[in-house]
Amino acid sequence: MESWAEGVETIVTNDRYRNLSSSYFDDGNDDIGWNFLRQRDRVFEMNEYTPIVTDLVDNYNQSIEYGYLNPRPPMDRVRNYTLQQVQNALNNCRTVDCWERNLRNYYHNSSEQHLNELFDYMRGVLNNNNPNKCD
């Protein structure tokens, strides 16, 4: 739930900034704009605010970009879902598995073979015992 809100916030904000000032995207935010630090998060340190929605939409693989971190951030080979598709797939779902299944069943996407790999990190976050998570 929080990840959905986080994703909308990130994508809409960056879309807006892109229209207002393309120079906003620079080295200071890794050229990916507002909330760029979420892309550095590793599973063990994540809480409810995962970057899963951004990961479904963007063409950015943080596991490659930050491959020097140990452990690496999640492998993100999924790309080009739209925010609308992500929302439709989330409707009436109460589990991560349902969300992933709906995305696969509702839409054709050339990277959908990597959905399971991507959603695996969300399943990892559910069990990561991070004390900063909300109960």
Q: Which residues bind another protein (CB under 8 A)?
A: 1-2, 28, 37, 40-41, 45, 47-49, 68-70, 132, 134-135
Task: Report in angstroms how near the CB of residue 77 gets to another protein at its nearest.
Answer: 21
**Alpha-carbon torsion, ordered 25, 118, 97, 45, to 10 deg:** -70
Q: Tell me how far the alpha carbon of residue 102 is from its chain's centroid.
A: 16
Task: Output 2 or 97, the one with its CB closest to another protein.
Answer: 2
Task: Report in angstroms how near the CB of residue 108 gets to another protein at its nearest.
Answer: 34
Report the distance separating Cα 63 and Cα 85, nearest Å: 24
Task: Report in angstroms how near the CB of residue 42 gets to another protein at its nearest.
Answer: 9
Query: What is the chain's Cα-based Rg?
Result: 14
